[in-house]
Structure 1
Amino acid sequence: MALELHIPPCIHNPPHHFHPPPPDKPLRIQIQGPLESIQKLLPHTSWHPIKPFPQPPGLLLASLTHQKLYGKEGQEHAKGTPIGVTFDHLVPADDPDPEILAISIVEVDHGEGAFANKHLLFPVDPAEYTGKLVLAVPKCCQAKKGSQDRPRWNKSVAERDRKAQR
């Protein structure tokens, strides 16, 4: 049985300007996490570690994430990452450096949520998630800030696009 992706509301007041993202704002969204957690979201698909993108789980993860963020399916320009996906929402094709929303899927089933409680800015009760939800948290609500996310992910997407054109 597939578990539901859960992106909690922003803990900041006022909320971070991309959490939740405005529906009319162009944004590159990157979501990644442990394969074990992704398989809980998409149990009837398999992620092959060496096959090229697009793989079915990558496209499904992009669509699922888009639906959670915007209330509708979508996977505009989805690109694969090792265990995750990067996709664009309303980003013009000629924009090499769009804003980034980096989301981490956090495994809470092991160690009584110790990893989540160490790396997130809010307490996590594993009983709220185990067997029910898969927790996905934008960087603004994590202890580790992602100041390098924008250049890193935009460079990664540009590199993949160049390789695809060859």
Structure 2
Amino acid sequence: MTLPDIPCLSNPTHSFNVHCFHPPPSAQPALPLYIPPCLAEPPHCFHPPSPEIPLRIQIEAPLLALQRLLPSVSWHIPNHLPDFPLAGGPELAKLAFRAIYQRDVRPDIVGDMVVRDEYKGWLVEARPISMIDYYGVAFDHLVPDDDTDPEVLQINIVEVEDDEGAYANKYNPFYIDPAEYIGQKELAVPRCCQKRKGTTDRRRVNDGVNIRHGRVVYRTYK
């Protein structure tokens, strides 16, 4: 089946074929994930978080950025009801964990890192082909299995390379120099350093996890 040309949301001169969402560009080297220091004074309590505090973390990104971070991972989806999690979910969670806590996940620590949920941004224009152009994963650090409302840290990986930082600089309160990131590293910004306040982050992320695990929730977002 021939894939259509799909306009890019951040750069109207781009199309699906320019993006080349899959197969992944596995020949390219993986770029590191970079979380800058907190802009707040004093720094937000979750930027960075204490390693002793239970915390649920959701990190999400455009697929273009994920391919640069994890070039050996395929984001191909065979249908609209794929198995949970996607192959890239745990890999993205491990990458984020390492960037946040400055160490790898330790299997000997119970609950050190547990994948709980994922978000798939379906590319509607690609129908009937099953395809995403955005993905997020939620994982827990030391959160008890029966905790339905833990503290949440939301992190967004910001696309810089696709439009040379235009979108990133529009929606973040600090200047992002594209030359520092393009081909060098991928920028990840915690909610405390974004323009968006994220007042519904905790409820939204926890509701997603609770629904995933069969718990009843009542959504009242604004």
TM-score (norm 2): 0.70
- Residue 95 (structure 2) aligns with: 64
* Distance (Å, rounded) in 2 between the aligned partners of 1:13 and 1:125: 22
Q: Does 1:133 align with 2:133?
A: no
Match in the other structure for 2:174? 122
Paired AA for residue 107 in structure 1 = E
Deviates more, 1:26-35 or 1:47-56: 47-56
Question: Are 1:81 and 2:119 counterparts?
Answer: yes
Aligned twin of 1:150: 202
State the Cα distance separating 1:52 from its structure 2 match: 2.3
Greater relative contact order (CA < 8 Å, ≥ 6 in sequence): 1
Instruction: Give the letter aligned to residue 39 of structure 2.
Output: I
Tell me how far apart the structure 2 counterparts of residues 37 and 111 of structure 1 sit (CA, whole Å).
Answer: 12
Equivalents in 2 of 1:121, 1:20: separation in Å?
19
Bigger CA radius of gyration: 2
Alignment of 1:5-154 (within 5 A): 5-49=33-77, 50=80, 51-74=82-105, 76-78=113-115, 79-82=117-120, 83-154=135-206
- Which of the numbers 152, 159, 163 marks the counterpart of 2:211? 159
Q: Which runs of 5+ in 1 are unaligned?
A: none
Q: Which has the higher helix share?
A: 1
Determine the C-alpha separation between the residues in 1 that align with 2:118 and 2:206.
Answer: 13
Residue type matched to 1:63 in 2? K
How many residue pairs get matched? 163
3-state secondary structure, aligned to 1:8: coil
Q: Percent identity of the aligned residues?
A: 52
Distance 1:135 1:13 in 2: 21
CA distance in 1, matches of 2:177, 2:166: 10
RMSD: 1.4
